[in-house]
Structure 1
Amino acid sequence: MESTTNPEQEVTHEFRAFRVYKDGRVEKFFKTHKIPPSHDPATDVLSKDAVVSTDPSISVRLFIPNKLLSSDQKIPLLFYIHGGAFTSHSAFSPQYQNFMNTVVSRANLVGLFPERPIPACYDDSWAALQWVAAHVDGHGPEEWLNKYADFQRVFIAGDSAGGNICHTLATRVGKIGLPAGIKVVGVTMFHPYFGGTEDDRMWLFMCPTNTGLNDPRMKPDPADLAQLGCERLLIFVAELDHLRPIGIDYYEVLKKSGWGGKVELVENIGEDHCFHLRFPHKVEEIEGLLSKFISFIHEE
């Protein structure tokens, strides 16, 4: 774009998802809106929001089957990280609200969904996981977690950019660890991003502490893969997704890394990127993916 002398119009950076003007203003190309937490009558799932931190600002949306509130049952905890090219969507987007309502209802689990403001912040998701871990003794700030979450059955999942962050979280769990009593059993990545696309420049711009195209957050190090802090890992790829080769490469490198866990790759034929969020338009196509994901969580 041609430069002008007006800083309000002069573009300094332009990527697939947003452009940056000289005066610091950011214009996003993919617009999403936020919806409040609610009781969803179709799935009978309740949701509410909680604040993890005010500095930096980190919030989460929690989901729970309504029927659980009249019991003392402990159920698995799903820590889900949204996608959106590190720039759009949030824990409060309607697409993710619909997806989480469905998963929480059918899998009978507590869902937790952190909000991560731009630029994408790996540390924010780690801080949210630490906040979750603070409930392991039953005295944390969020009663749903204190009373109903089974901290021996914690699962991390995410799609696209969120799938990328899942890897970094699992790496940190493996290297740093979590408090006694909390166990990350499995990680699921839906169509994860790990570099090698036109979005690499955007990622480098948003993560100024990067070490270049070989940064281990974008190009996972085999040594890090060997230390993933979970027992099982499930990777979904889609035949028509431009990130399909990246997901397959992650799977192949992980198998050769020396990691002692179990990894599985599932490909959905005829589908494209993050098709599982397109409720209610692709219900039949999504059914197989949902069933596999839920069985992964409840696998003994």
Structure 2
Amino acid sequence: MVSTPADEIAHDFPPFFRVYKDGRVERFHNYVYVLPSDDPNTGVRSKDVNNNSARLYLPKITENNQKFPLLIYIHGGGFSIESAFSTGHDKYLHSIVTKANVVAISVDYRLAPEHPLPICYDDSWAVIKWAALHVEMSDHLITEPWLKDHVDFSRVFLAGDSAGANIVHDMMVRASASEKPLGDGFKIVGMALIHLFFGNDEPDEYCSFVFPGCTGLDDPRLNPALHFRLLSSLICLKILIFTTEKDVMRGRSLAYYDALKKSGWKGEVEIMETQGEDHVFHLLEPTCEKAGVLMKRLVDFFNEKI
């Protein structure tokens, strides 16, 4: 029996995807889409916004004109799987919003390999710029009222897991590139990076495939620990890094932490390591004790006084 291009594999990257010679992409993980909803138990409400590029979460309102910090969250998945609209990430955002009492925007970016990097970065930046427009715009027919009425834009946080943490770092670099790229009143005070997906000084076939236009092993989006100048100019006041004992990328998180401390950056950085666990264990087992410890530290981080 003669094989056809539909059967022949051109590129194979478990646990993410394989590409066949006819161009077809087969993902090893297909997320389960969940609709936005209102939770009667927690009072958290959600809806999809900005042409379905993000899901917006509003905590329970207990006072008129109540204002909350804003969390902009970016999901992981190797740049090629998962979604802001997946069951797992939707539940996790509901939990963060309930416990931390923040308004949250969960970004949904286009996935590689059909949409190679840097598309995910540009999509995420577009959502952040859309959110920043609400600081000064007053027309409720144009703006999103949950943001306009209930966000304290002087307390904005960025957070993400795995590849999402990689994207979050790049968003902070972009926000720090000029004095006020997002306008007056939109202040990113901190970022939380959970189980970072960065490259290192070794060739990486996967990263080269999903990011064909990168500048190589020293690309600042894949290996930021080599770029002290960019790190030293970050505008946020504090950074919280999470890693785990068994994470294959643990060393890259430690290198990023050390580089931040050596770069001359004036903010506060903390790293928290979970013993005995692997990459993104908190999403795979969100009800386990150690996931609860991670969640508590994350919530405390968003609620600390600046």
TM-score by length of 1: 0.91
Mapped contact 1:95–1:279 kept (Cα < 8 A): no
Residue 200 (structure 1) shift:
2.9
Alignment correspondent of 1:111: 104
Residue 5 (structure 1) shift:
6.2
Give the aligned residue type for 1:116: Y
Give the aligned residue type for 2:94: N
Mapped contact 2:76–2:165 kept (Cα < 8 A): yes
Mapped contact 2:286–2:292 kept (Cα < 8 A): no
Structure 2 spans left out of the alignment, 5+ residues:
none
Residue 116 (structure 1) shift:
0.9
Mapped contact 2:59–2:98 kept (Cα < 8 A): yes
Alignment correspondent of 1:55: none
For residues 177-222 of structure 1, the C-alpha deviation after alignment (integer angstroms, 9 at most, x for no partner) is 3211100000000000111399932222112221112211101122
For residues 32-85 of structure 1, the C-alpha deviation after alignment (integer angstroms, 9 at most, x for no partner) is 111000112343211100125xxxxx61001111335x6211110000000111
Aligned residues: 290
Give the aligned residue type for 2:100: A
Cα 1:280–1:224 change in 2 (3 A) is closer
Mapped contact 1:98–1:279 kept (Cα < 8 A): no
Cα 1:14–1:88 change in 2 (3 A) is same
Give the aligned residue type for 2:283: L
Larger strand share, 1 or 2: 1
Residue 177 of structure 2 corresponds to residue 171 of structure 1: no
Distance 1:18 1:199 in 2: 19
Mapped contact 1:60–1:115 kept (Cα < 8 A): yes
Mapped contact 1:136–1:146 kept (Cα < 8 A): yes
Distance 2:130 2:198 in 1: 26
For residues 207-246 of structure 1, the C-alpha deviation after alignment (integer angstroms, 9 at most, x for no partner) is 2221112211101122111111211100001112111111
Cα 1:104–1:211 change in 2 (3 A) is same
Residue 181 of structure 2 corresponds to residue 182 of structure 1: no
Return structure 1 stretches of 4+ with deviation > 4 angstroms.
Answer: none
Alignment correspondent of 2:9: 11
Indicate the RMSD between aligned Cα atoms, in angstroms: 1.9
Distance 2:202 2:149 in 1: 45
Aligned-partner SS, 1:135: helix
For residues 150-191 of structure 1, the C-alpha deviation after alignment (integer angstroms, 9 at most, x for no partner) is 110000000000011111011111113321110000000000
Mapped contact 2:137–2:143 kept (Cα < 8 A): no
Q: Aligned residues: percent identity?
A: 44
Alignment correspondent of 1:296: 301
Mapped contact 1:138–1:147 kept (Cα < 8 A): no
Alignment correspondent of 2:135: 136
